[in-house]
Structure 1
Amino acid sequence: MTDFPRIGFIGAGNMATALVGGLLAKGWPASALMLTDVSEQALSVHAARGLRTGTDNRELVASVDIVVLAVKPQAMKAVTQALADCPQQPLYISIAAGIPAQSLAQWLGGDAAVVRAMPNTPALVQTGATGLFANAAVSHEQRVQAEQVLGAVGIALWVDTETKIDAVTAVSGSGPAYFFYLMEAMIEAGVKLGLARHDARDLALQTALGAAQMAITADVAPDELRRRVTSPKGTTEQAVAVFDAAGFADIVEQAMRACAARGVSLANELTGA
């Protein structure tokens, strides 16, 4: 790209910082990026890299093509309502959990182009996975731009209905915690089996990395990869049999359904629905 859209971030927290880092790594000039925040300390990190910073959200909206709303969900209504009468019409990308595009558009004046994004924390290390949903006001060009912004820190894919954002939350938004939980359990089990904690940790984490890389690059699905390492009457088969007896797949599904359901109730709480 030679013509870089100007991007403004309202909120300079961890996710905004990750996105800025990814965009800079993809070639975005620092002069095309701007951040606002109530914390001068948070802004100072970005100012030191040559980015424009400030505290006036309306000024930011007036000077960019895309606004990334990176504030806490509880603060979103006040922040967006304060922008409702801005004459500019940028694309708004919200990375806040639980707030529907319709509510965001309404708070922004009624006809705003809004993309809801559900990123996850691996975006902090440029390996994120993000689900995107666009309201009817978002143009094709703006969809491309939104995908470029979130794609700067990993993969980004579109869902065709907003309800599927809750499914994205259950799979990838909250998903890193599931894998961390499994890593934690494997480390503790390794220690109980006699390994030094640092050895159990290194083995478990490297195995997680290797398994993920194999699954990403393989030409077969994860279930086939599992079968290939599960020899009849072997050691792995015994471990998998214990998982199956405990209803591992059902437990995962129940957990993810609970996660998705919480996304729905959170939206009701945040919007007063």
Structure 2
Amino acid sequence: MSITYGFIGSGNMAKAMIGGIVTSGLAKPDCVVASNPSAQKLDLLKEEFGIETILKDNKTAAKLSDVVILSVKPYLYERVIAEIKDMVRPDAIVVMIAAGQTIAANEARFGRPVKLVRVMPNTPALVGEAMSAVCFNTNITADDKKIVMDMLNSFGRAEEVPETLMDAVTGVSGSSPAYVYLFIEAMADAAVLHGMPRAQAYTFAAQSVLGAAKMVLETGMHPGALKDNVCSPGGTTIEAVAALESNGLRAAVIDAVDTCVRKSKEMSK
């Protein structure tokens, strides 16, 4: 049975998700619906992914869809749900991808039983490497979960978490690409200091981060053990690690994630 995925809003995250769904073969372009007040954004989706059903009408998009993805800013949720709630079919799955939007608050906005999913993806979805956290309300069945997980895995990795951990997810994956970009930029600056051309420095730094992350994911080894494997006695790497530790790298990262989590909790109130 084919599934129709409907996107209410078509910004960067929606574009990334649509790209994953279509290019992975999870669904054909004619099984994707998108709505947006901007005709220009809709035309770009049609041009890039071959989507034919592009609409300015959120109600029609919701009515046509088996999976309704609310890809709008958090402050628009109340207005958009009020607009589409009577159009969402009883068996449709509604996926929320906005920070701070809880399951309970949006169940209340629908005012009736609805299959509701809360997702926290991150911007590497744009290159098919998202890390998404997902939690489900009690109306979601095992089959519904598979549909959602297949969708999320089409543009990266996804894991189910309890909703109480969504703020922690914001700190460790939702916002963390920015921390990594800072780290890559700093490493490249150091290489430039020692004579490497900047573009080449970014390539060396970024590929090293990518490779190191892949080692953690694919070997299953503890990051500390992988670090130890690179640190030869009296060598260059242990000297560098010592410098990072003396300058408080570990404490700074923990403080950054903690600050992000606390801010996320404030936004969820």
1:95 aligns with 97
2:40 aligns with 41
- The alignment yields a C-alpha RMSD, in angstroms, of 1.5
Deviation larger for 86-95 or 123-132:
86-95
Whether contact under 8 Å (1:81, 1:109) holds in the other structure is no
1:151 aligns with 153
Q: 2: distance between equivalents of 1:87 and 1:94?
A: 14
Give the direction of change, closer, same or farther, for the CA distance of 1:219–1:67 in structure 2 (3 Å limit). Answer: closer
1:10 aligns with 8
3-state secondary structure, aligned to 1:147: helix
Q: Give the TM-score normalised by structure 1.
A: 0.92
Q: 1: distance between equivalents of 2:52 and 2:164?
A: 36
3-state secondary structure, aligned to 2:148: helix
Q: Which residue identity lines up with residue 36 of structure 2 in the other structure?
A: D
Q: Tell me, which stretches of 5 or more residues in structure 1 are unaligned?
A: 269-273
Q: 2: distance between equivalents of 1:212 and 1:120?
A: 16
Give the direction of change, closer, same or farther, for the CA distance of 1:249–1:29 in structure 2 (3 Å limit). Answer: same
Q: Which residue identity lines up with residue 257 of structure 1 in the other structure?
A: D
1:70-122: CA deviations, max 9, x gaps?
00112111111222333622211011111111111111224221111000111
For the pair 1:136 / 2:135, whether they are aligned, the reply is no
1:261 aligns with 262
1:180 aligns with 181
Q: Alpha-carbon deviation of 1:255?
A: 0.9
Q: How does 1:1-273 map to 2 (within 5 A)?
A: 3-27=1-25, 28-48=27-47, 49-86=50-87, 88-89=89-90, 90-159=92-161, 161-268=162-269
Q: Alpha-carbon deviation of 1:194?
A: 2.9
3-state secondary structure, aligned to 2:43: helix
Q: % of aligned pairs identical?
A: 33
Q: Alpha-carbon deviation of 1:23?
A: 0.8
Q: Alpha-carbon deviation of 1:208?
A: 1.6
Q: Give the TM-score normalised by structure 2.
A: 0.93
Whether contact under 8 Å (1:16, 1:70) holds in the other structure is yes
Deviation larger for 240-249 or 124-133:
240-249
3-state secondary structure, aligned to 2:255: helix
Deviation larger for 238-247 or 122-131:
238-247
Whether contact under 8 Å (2:85, 2:110) holds in the other structure is yes
Q: Alpha-carbon deviation of 1:50?
A: 3.4
Give the direction of change, closer, same or farther, for the CA distance of 1:250–1:110 in structure 2 (3 Å limit). Answer: farther
Number of residue pairs the alignment of both structures matches: 265
Whether contact under 8 Å (1:114, 1:135) holds in the other structure is yes
Whether contact under 8 Å (2:32, 2:51) holds in the other structure is no
Give the direction of change, closer, same or farther, for the CA distance of 1:233–1:117 in structure 2 (3 Å limit). Answer: same
1:271 aligns with none
Q: 2: distance between equivalents of 1:84 and 1:216?
A: 40
Q: Which residue identity lines up with residue 222 of structure 2 in the other structure?
A: A
Give the direction of change, closer, same or farther, for the CA distance of 1:196–1:87 in structure 2 (3 Å limit). Answer: closer
Give the direction of change, closer, same or farther, for the CA distance of 1:124–1:178 in structure 2 (3 Å limit). Answer: same
Give the direction of change, closer, same or farther, for the CA distance of 1:19–1:182 in structure 2 (3 Å limit). Answer: same
Q: 2: distance between equivalents of 1:19 and 1:103?
A: 24
Whether contact under 8 Å (2:8, 2:69) holds in the other structure is yes
Q: 2: distance between equivalents of 1:47 and 1:205?
A: 32
Q: Tell me, which stretches of 5 or more residues in structure 2 are unaligned?
A: none
Deviation larger for 208-217 or 144-153:
208-217
Q: 1: distance between equivalents of 2:88 and 2:51?
A: 28
